[in-house]
Amino acid sequence: MISISWPSPDPDLELLHVSSTNDSLLLTVKSTRTSAYCPACSKPSSRIHSQYTRKVQDLPISGKSVELLIMTKRWFCDQPNCRVKIFTERYNWLSPNGCRTARTEEVLRKITFSTSCISAEKVARSAHIPVSHDTLLTLVHQTDVKSEVSPFRGS
């Protein structure tokens, strides 16, 4: 077992366990929140429905790829006029269906927009962020890019 000082992306996460292999770390964390806001009506709920786990890729630590196993909660929305009856806990550093942290996606975007998807895959893998070029291409398509008029364009 290695000792690790983990920079938690969320103060409401508690580090439970660290599993290490030669090239990867698996950090098991759980949410300690006692309530959550419904994404539809924005009202707080403190009634837990259930718990489930999510596996999420994070930035590497000490040359090892990192996966977070997040034990998160589903909540009841008790608001009678809300269309959502059960919702999952949200994290501002993770999209609702995301399998990578926002900071990992940002690094992958920077690498991909600086090169090609094929080259970015090789660079990301050498940086201990395993990802396929198809995933990087999907990330490019999901990125909102503002088009700017070139200052070199003739009038």
Alpha helices in the chain (DSSP H): 102-114, 117-126, 133-142
For the record, the structure tokens of 57 come out as 């890729």
Let me know whether 11 and 86 are in one domain: yes
Q: Which of 71, 92, 113 is the last residue before a domain boundary?
A: 92
In a domain, 137, yes or no: yes
Let me know whether 22 and 85 are in one domain: yes
Owning domain of residue 129: 100-144
28-57 pLDDT per residue, tens = 999 999 999 999 999 999 999 999 999 999
Q: Look up the pTM and report it.
A: 0.78
Let me know whether 19 and 49 are in one domain: yes
95-134 pLDDT per residue, tens = 888 899 999 999 999 999 999 889 999 999 999 999 999 9
Let me know whether 125 and 71 are in one domain: no
In a domain, 155, yes or no: no
Domain count, the chain: 2
For the record, the structure tokens of 75 come out as 């909540």
Angle between helices 102-114 and 133-142 (to 10 degrees): 100
- The 3-state DSSP class for residue 120 equals helix
